[in-house]
Amino acid sequence: MKNKPTMKEVAKAAGVSWPTVSYVFNNSRRVSDKTREHVLNTALELGYTPDIMARGLATSRSYTIGILFNEFNFSTSIPIIAAIEEAARSYNYRLVLALQGREPKEAMLDLQDLTARRMDGIIFVSSTDNLDPAIVEALGAARIPILLAYTSPPNLAMVDSVLPDHVQGGLIATRHLLSQGRRRLAFIGSDENNNATRKRVAGFLRAHEEMQVEYDPAMIVYGEYTAPSGREAARNLIASHRPDAIFAADDNIAVGALQACQAAGMKVPEDIAIVGFDNSALCDIILPTITSVAMPFDKIGRLCLERMIYRLQQPDDWKPEQTILPCSVVSRETS
């Protein structure tokens, strides 16, 4: 394995001074066209490409954003990271991935490690709207721009955040069902301490108020984000309250609910409609296909990255900001 050529070697080969090569590659000062072309050509021949880390040492810019995330979560963190990556690519930035350790202490170390690697900034991508306090504390100590994706900090003063509007998501899902003439809606969430569930149920309630439809508090039940949990909750609801529609706080719950309806001999959507949340791949695979609320992961990711870049470019023009982006209903066969 040959070594990578350095700037010096290129300069020598091209017969120019050493910094000239730097100037050519950075367009950082006028260089005669002839020299520029000559340098570029020799660089190409030698297979030279500037060492980004050495440049980073000199400029204290690494063109790398650290992504700290707490879970390989296919329905939230991965789609957001994918969107960040795509945006980063177009700005010629790279991502360093760091999975957050389970222990609070580890989280601190992860952050330290990231800053020790000269990240220009760090985006923390949470898979849940419930932020771990240890992380908040650790983030506060970082000396570089920090941004939160999918969740917001308890104290808005420190960092930017970009997240989906769970309340509005719950609102439009419920409106969707009510506007189809459904009147006995059930809500199945995860546990009551889950912020996303809380916001989604808030939207559920608001839609009822808005359209002046009464709801039955007994039809709002909690469990966890899994199909079996949704199955059981739906089975009980069907037996006791005969809902004509179910709004599930999550697609896994929705699948479970669908299965329970079918097992109870109910036709979907004729006898009962179902709407999920996440708009995951599941929704198209299961039959009947499942109507679901889509969160704007692409926009969240892109906005996170763009805001980060802006902050890096205009370090002075900054005050913490929280952006909440709307969801949309994707209609399929269960409603």
CA angle 154, 324, 256 (to 5 degrees): 90
CB-based burial label for 319 (10 Å; 0-12, 13-18, 19+)? exposed
Burial class of residue 15 in the structure, from the number of CB atoms within 10 Å of its CB (0-12 exposed, 13-18 middle, 19+ buried): exposed
CA distance 155 to 253: 32
Look at residue 310 and give the partner it binds from DNA, a copy of itself, none, a contact being a CB closer than 5 to 8 Å depending on partner kind: none
> Is residue 4 within the footprint of a copy of itself (CB under 8 A)?
yes
Distance separating alpha carbons of residues 232 and 33, to the nearest angstrom:
73
CA distance 129 to 166: 10
Q: Is 200 left (phi over 0), alpha (psi -120 to 50) or beta?
A: alpha
Residue 101's binding partner out of a copy of itself, DNA, none, with CB under 5 to 8 Å set by partner kind: a copy of itself
Residue from 37, 45, 86, 192 in contact with a copy of itself (CB under 8 A): 86
Under the criterion CB under 7 A, does residue 6 sit at the interface with DNA?
A: yes
Instruction: By CB under 8 A, tell whether 96 contacts a copy of itself.
Output: yes
Select from 28-36, 60-68, 120-128, 322-330 the region that touches a copy of itself (CB under 8 A): 60-68
Collapse the DSSP code of 188 into the 3-class scheme (helix H, G, I; strand E, B; otherwise coil) and give the result: strand
Residue 228 touching DNA (CB under 7 A): no
3-state class (DSSP) for residue 249: coil
CA distance 14 to 27: 17
* Residue 319 binding: pick among DNA, a copy of itself, none (C-beta 5-8 Å cut-off by kind): none
Query: Which lies closer to a copy of itself via its Cβ, residue 64 or residue 194?
Result: 64
34 vs 319, beta carbon nearer DNA: 34
DSSP assignment of 250-296: SHHHHHHHHHHHHHTT--TTTT-EEEEES--THHHHSSSPPEEEEP-
Specify whether the CB–CB gap between 92 and 113 falls below 8 A: no
* Closest approach of DNA to the CB of residue 308, in Å: 20
Q: x/- binding map, residues 23-62, to DNA, per CB under 7 A?
A: x-xx-xxxxx-xx------------x-xx--xx-xxxx--
C-alpha span between 333 and 157 (Å, rounded): 44
Whether the ω angle into residue 288 lies within 30 degrees of 0, i.e. cis, is yes
Q: Nearest distance from residue 79's CB to a copy of itself, in Å?
A: 8
> Given candidates 6, 35, 46, 56, which one binds a copy of itself under the rule CB under 8 A?
56
Please tell me whether residue 32 binds a copy of itself under the rule CB under 8 A.
no
Comparing CB distances to a copy of itself, the nearer of 144 and 213 is: 144
Q: Is 101 near a copy of itself (CB under 8 A)?
A: yes
Which partner, DNA, a copy of itself, none, binds residue 42 by CB below 5 to 8 Å per kind?
Answer: none
**Residues listed for the chain:** 335
Q: 28 contacts which partner out of DNA, a copy of itself, none, CB within 5 to 8 A by kind?
A: DNA
In three-state form (DSSP H/G/I as H, E/B as E, the rest C), the secondary structure along 120-151 is: CEEEEECCCCCCCHHHHHHHHHCCCCEEEECC
Q: Nearer to DNA by C-beta: 57 or 285?
A: 57
Shortest Cβ 12–DNA spacing (Å): 12
Total site size for DNA, rule CB under 7 A: 29
Asked if 299 interacts with a copy of itself (CB under 8 A), we say no
CA distance 68 to 47: 33
What are the residues binding a copy of itself (CB under 8 A)?
1-4, 47, 49-54, 56-57, 62, 64, 67, 72, 74, 78-79, 81-82, 85-86, 89, 94-99, 101, 112-113, 115-118, 141, 143-144, 227, 252, 255, 259, 281-282, 284-287
What are the residues binding DNA (CB under 7 A)?
3, 6-8, 16-20, 22-23, 25-26, 28-32, 34-35, 48, 50-51, 54-55, 57-60
